[in-house]
C-alpha cells in the first residue's frame, strides 16, 4: 500500500528546497563577487605609484635641507679670525674655538686656496650652525656651533677603482698622459718610482709606449690621485721593461712592496738613472760638445739637466762625499761622491749644498745633496752631471748598475702566480 504525503507537507518541502537553493546561489554569488572585488582592488593598488620618501641631501655627513650653505676659500693673509668675524662670531668665541681646536687641528696651519663652508640656519640667517674646513681633498674638520662647541675630524669616502691605460709617446710622456685624459701622476710614478733605475726618461723617444694596471682614488667622482701601480710594461728604444708589484719580507723581516721584472729580478739597482726627479734635459753625452759660455768645442763627458734654480739634486747611490768646493772658471759649486772602489759621480753648477753636506759625509741613494743653480761658467740654471769608472769619464746614460735583491726563492711560486695574473690584465689592454 502506497503512502501518500499530505499536500500541505509537499508544499513545505518545495519551500524548503527553494530556500536552500536560494541560499546556495547567494553564497556562490557572494564568493564570485568577493573574488572579483579582491582582484579589482589588487589591480588598483598595483597601479598606484609607490610613494618613496626622498633621501636627505648630505654634505660632510650633515643634512643640508635646513641650512643655507655658504662656501669660501682661504685667501692670502687670511686666518681663522678674519673668516669667522665676518659671519658675526664674537672674538671671545673665536678664541675659544682656536684653543679647543689645537688637539684636533691647528688653525694656524690653514692653507691658501683650501675650501671652507658655513652652514647657516635658514630660519635665523645670521646664525652659524657649522663651520667646516677642508684640510685636504679627503680630511676635513667640523666646528659644530649649534649648541655647545664641538670639534671633530672626518674623512670623505674614498672610492678606489682598478683601471688600465696605454699610450704611445709622440712628444713626451707627460703630454701623452694629458692627451689621453690620464692622471699625470702616473708619469711621475713610472719615471721616479718604478723605472728610476732602468730607463732614462730624459731620453725617451717618439714611438716608445707603455701599458699599466693601476688603481685611482676618487672622492665624490673627482680623482684625488693614483694609488698603487700593480703592473706595467714600458717599451723604450725597442726594449721591453716589465714591472710587477709584489710583497715579500725585507732584510728586517717586515713586509715590503717592491717591483720585479718577469724573471723576478728587482728593478731597484745600486744607482739611479738620473740625479734629478723626472724633468726636461738640455743636452746629452758628446765627445765634441759646444760649450755655451766659452764658445769653443771641448769634451763634455756628462749630461746637462736643465731645471729651475733650487731643484733638488739627488745622489744616484750610496756613497761618501770626497770633494766639495767652488770652481770660478768651471763647475761653480760642485760635489764629488765616491760610491765604491770603482764609481765616482760629480755634480756641478749647484746654487747651494744640501744640509749637513761636507767632505766625509756618508750619503744615501736619493738623498738631496744640493740644488740646481748657475754658478761658475754657465749659460743658465742646470746640473752638469758626470760619472767616472776607475778614474775615467763614462756616459752616465750608459752606466750599468748592480741589481738589487730578487724575489726570495721560497716565494717564487707565489710571485709567478701573481705575475701571470697581472700579465693577463696587461695583455687585455688594447691599442698597445
Residues 144 and 164 in one domain: no
pLDDT > 90: percent of the chain: 59
Last residue of a domain, one of 124, 155, 186: 155
With respect to residue 348, please indicate whether it lies within any of the assigned structural domains. Answer: yes
Residues 149 and 163 in one domain: no
Residues 169 and 225 in one domain: yes
Residues 310 and 359 in one domain: yes
Q: How many domains does the chain have?
A: 3
Whole-number pLDDT of residue 298: 47
Residues 150 and 164 in one domain: no
Residues 62 and 151 in one domain: yes
- On the question of pLDDT at 398 being above 80, the answer is no
Please state, as a whole number, how many other Cβ atoms lie within 10 Å of the Cβ of residue 23: 10
Per-residue pLDDT tens digits for 248-260: 988 888 888 999 9
Residues 213 and 292 in one domain: no
Residues 357 and 317 in one domain: yes
Domain region containing 188: 159-260
Last residue of a domain, one of 116, 133, 155: 155
State how far the Cα of 81 lies from the Cα of 151, in Å rounded to an integer: 16
State how far the Cα of 388 lies from the Cα of 220, in Å rounded to an integer: 52
Which of 295, 326, 164 lies closest to 233 in space, CA to CA? 164
Residues paired with 258 in a beta bridge:
246
Q: Is the pTM of this model over 0.85?
A: no
Q: Which residues have C-beta within 8 Å of that of residue 115, sequence separation ≥ 6?
A: 71, 72, 73, 74, 133, 134
Whole-number pLDDT of residue 82: 94
Residues 137 and 168 in one domain: no
With respect to residue 223, please indicate whether it lies within any of the assigned structural domains. Answer: yes
With respect to residue 46, please indicate whether it lies within any of the assigned structural domains. Answer: no
More confident call, 306 vs 91: 91
With respect to residue 13, please indicate whether it lies within any of the assigned structural domains. Answer: no
423-427 long-range Cβ contacts below 8 angstroms, 24+ apart: 423/231, 423/244, 423/262, 425/164, 425/213, 425/230, 425/231, 426/164, 426/211, 426/213, 426/231, 426/232, 426/233
With respect to residue 235, please indicate whether it lies within any of the assigned structural domains. Answer: yes
Per-residue pLDDT tens digits for 136-148: 999 999 999 988 8
Average pLDDT value over all residues in the chain = 87
Last residue of a domain, one of 139, 155, 171: 155
More confident call, 6 vs 399: 399
Per-residue pLDDT tens digits for 48-57: 555 566 778 8
Residues 301 and 383 in one domain: yes
With respect to residue 303, please indicate whether it lies within any of the assigned structural domains. Answer: yes
Residues 72 and 164 in one domain: no
With respect to residue 142, please indicate whether it lies within any of the assigned structural domains. Answer: yes
CATH of residue 362's domain is 2.70.70.10
With respect to residue 21, please indicate whether it lies within any of the assigned structural domains. Answer: no
Residues 140 and 172 in one domain: no
- On the question of pLDDT at 265 being above 60, the answer is yes
Whole-number pLDDT of residue 294: 43
CATH of residue 80's domain is 3.10.450.350
Which of 31, 10, 27, 120 lies closest to 72 in space, CA to CA? 120
Amino acid at each position: 500500500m502506497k503512502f501518500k504525503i499530505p499536500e500541505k507537507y509537499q508544499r513545505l518541502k518545495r519551500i524548503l528546497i527553494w530556500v536552500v537553493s536560494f541560499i546556495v546561489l547567494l553564497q556562490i554569488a557572494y564568493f564570485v563577487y568577493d573574488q572579483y572585488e579582491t582582484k579589482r582592488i589588487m589591480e588598483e593598488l598595483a597601479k598606484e605609484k609607490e610613494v618613496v620618501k626622498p633621501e636627505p641631501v648630505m654634505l660632510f655627513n650633515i643634512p643640508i635641507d635646513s641650512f643655507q650653505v655658504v662656501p669660501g676659500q682661504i685667501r692670502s693673509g687670511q686666518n681663522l679670525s678674519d673668516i669667522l668675524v665676518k659671519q658675526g662670531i664674537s672674538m671671545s668665541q673665536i678664541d675659544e674655538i682656536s684653543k679647543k681646536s689645537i688637539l684636533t687641528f691647528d688653525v694656524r696651519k690653514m692653507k691658501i686656496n683650501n675650501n671652507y663652508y658655513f652652514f647657516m640656519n635658514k630660519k635665523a640667517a645670521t646664525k652659524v650652525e657649522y663651520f667646516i674646513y677642508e684640510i685636504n681633498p679627503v680630511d676635513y674638520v667640523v666646528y659644530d656651533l649649534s649648541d655647545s662647541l664641538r670639534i671633530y675630524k672626518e674623512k670623505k669616502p674614498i672610492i678606489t677603482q682598478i683601471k688600465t691605460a696605454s699610450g704611445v709617446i709622440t712628444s713626451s710622456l707627460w703630454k701623452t698622459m694629458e692627451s689621453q685624459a690620464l692622471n699625470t701622476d702616473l708619469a711621475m710614478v713610472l719615471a721616479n718610482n718604478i723605472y728610476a733605475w732602468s730607463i732614462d726618461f730624459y731620453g725617451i723617444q717618439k714611438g716608445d709606449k707603455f701599458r699599466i694596471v693601476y688603481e685611482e682614488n676618487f672622492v665624490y667622482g673627482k680623482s684625488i690621485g693614483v694609488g698603487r701601480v700593480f703592473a706595467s710594461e714600458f717599451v723604450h728604444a725597442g726594449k721591453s721593461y716589465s714591472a710587477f708589484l709584489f710583497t715579500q719580507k725585507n732584510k728586517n723581516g717586515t713586509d715590503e712592496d717592491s717591483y720585479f721584472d718577469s724573471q723576478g729580478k728587482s728593478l731597484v739597482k745600486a744607482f739611479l738613472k738620473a740625479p734629478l726627479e723626472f724633468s726636461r734635459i738640455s743636452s746629452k753625452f758628446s765627445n765634441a760638445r759646444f760649450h755655451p759660455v766659452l764658445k769653443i768645442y771641448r769634451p763634455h763627458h756628462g749630461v746637462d739637466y736643465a731645471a729651475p734654480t733650487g731643484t733638488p739634486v739627488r745622489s744616484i747611490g750610496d756613497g761618501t762625499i770626497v770633494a766639495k768646493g767652488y770652481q770660478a772658471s768651471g763647475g761653480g759649486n760642485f760635489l764629488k761622491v765616491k760610491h765604491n772602489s770603482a764609481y765616482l759621480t760629480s755634480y756641478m753648477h749647484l746654487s747651494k749644498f744640501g744640509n749637513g753636506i761636507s767632505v766625509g759625509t756618508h750619503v744615501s741613494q736619493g738623498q738631496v745633496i744640493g740644488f740646481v743653480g748657475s754658478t761658475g761658467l754657465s749659460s743658465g740654471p742646470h746640473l752638469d752631471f758626470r760619472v767616472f769608472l776607475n778614474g775615467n769619464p763614462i756616459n752616465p746614460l750608459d752606466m750599468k748598475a748592480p741589481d738589487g735583491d730578487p724575489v726570495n726563492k721560497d716565494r717564487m711560486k707565489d710571485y709567478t702566480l701573481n705575475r701571470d695574473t697581472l700579465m693577463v690584465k696587461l695583455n687585455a689592454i688594447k691599442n698597445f
